[in-house]
Amino acid sequence: MKSAVSLVLALTALASQSSAHYIFEQFTHGGTLYPVYQYIRPNTNMNSPVIDLTSTDTRCNVGANGSATDTITVAAGDAFSFTSDVAVYHDGPLSIYMAKAPAAAKDFDGSGQVWFKILDIGPTFDSSGTATWNLAQTYTYNIPTALPSGDYILRIQQLAIHNPYPAGIPQFYIECAQITVTGGGTGIPSPLVSIPGWIDGTEPGYVVNIYNDFHNYTVPGPAVWAGQNA
Ligand SMILES: *[C@@H]1O[C@H](CO)[C@@H](O)[C@H](O)[C@H]1NC(C)=O
Ligand SMILES: *[C@@H]1O[C@H](CO)[C@@H](O)[C@H](O)[C@H]1NC(C)=O
Ligand SMILES: [Cu+2]
């Protein structure tokens, strides 16, 4: 009887945990907040994180496939936003990556050394050294003006490091939008990395304990592309 009760309690805790995660399911451009999964690849993962660094699920989430997803036209320099179902609440950095599709964005699975980073948001440290993470429901940024025109996958990644490694495994919350960039520049995005492979799990920003002697932070992954025209 006692164990049945604790099993029910454990299952209830699990259920509320999984329903309480977050997922970037809406895209905004030109002042329009589009419906859930319009221009964003749907997935089969609900709002659970991806934790296996070696899995192709780290690209666009579990079961993500763009073949039935529309692609939105966005001019270089334009603002865009990703909005999650509930505000991000696990401490950790946020990054935005892109990959140029060889043809239509909807047909590209993101394989190869094709990914570059356009944004990192790490913590700020106040004068006493206390970290504050930018946890939000909507993250807004601009397509680099130097980015060449064409079809791209636009990928948002929040890395939750609230349960310090190795007792806790860092969690990736990922979604991919499909965009056609127009009016672009002559830049050559770099460095290019593969996903998986972009993070090997030894980075200080991956293994750090944010509750212990935490005074500086470097977001894992490649350097952010400087966004210069060639
Ligand atoms: C999506 O699924 C289709 C049909 O199953 C498949 O042909 C295609 O390669 C998949 N695309 C991606 C991007 O994985
Ligand atoms: C903080 O800086 C030190 C000294 O450069 C470095 O060794 C350490 O890895 C950094 N910590 C994080 C979490 O980036
Ligand atoms: Cu969680």
**How many Å lie between the centroid of ligand 2 and the Cα of residue 212?**
13
Q: How confident is the model at residue 95, as a pLDDT?
A: 98
Grade residue 11 by pLDDT with cuts at 50, 70 and 90: very low
Q: What domains can be seen in the chain, in order of their start residue?
A: 22-207 (2.70.50.70)
Which ligand is the nearest neighbour of the Cα of 41? 1
> What is the pLDDT averaged over residues 41-47?
93
Nearest atom, ligand 2, residue 218 CA: 14
Which ligand is the nearest neighbour of the Cα of 165? 2
Residue whose CA lies nearest to ligand 2 atom number 13: 217
With a cut of 90, say whether residue 1 has pLDDT above it.
Answer: no
With a cut of 50, say whether residue 3 has pLDDT above it.
Answer: no
> pLDDT of 136-161, one tens digit each?
999 999 999 999 999 999 999 999 99
Grade residue 105 by pLDDT with cuts at 50, 70 and 90: very high
Torsion 210-125-89-60 (CA) sign: negative
CB 41 within 8 A of CB 27: no
Mean pLDDT of the chain: 92
pTM of the model: 0.91
**How many Å lie between the centroid of ligand 3 and the Cα of residue 171?**
8
> What is the pLDDT averaged over residues 44-54?
94
Q: How confident is the model at residue 8, as a pLDDT?
A: 39
Q: How confident is the model at residue 20, as a pLDDT?
A: 56
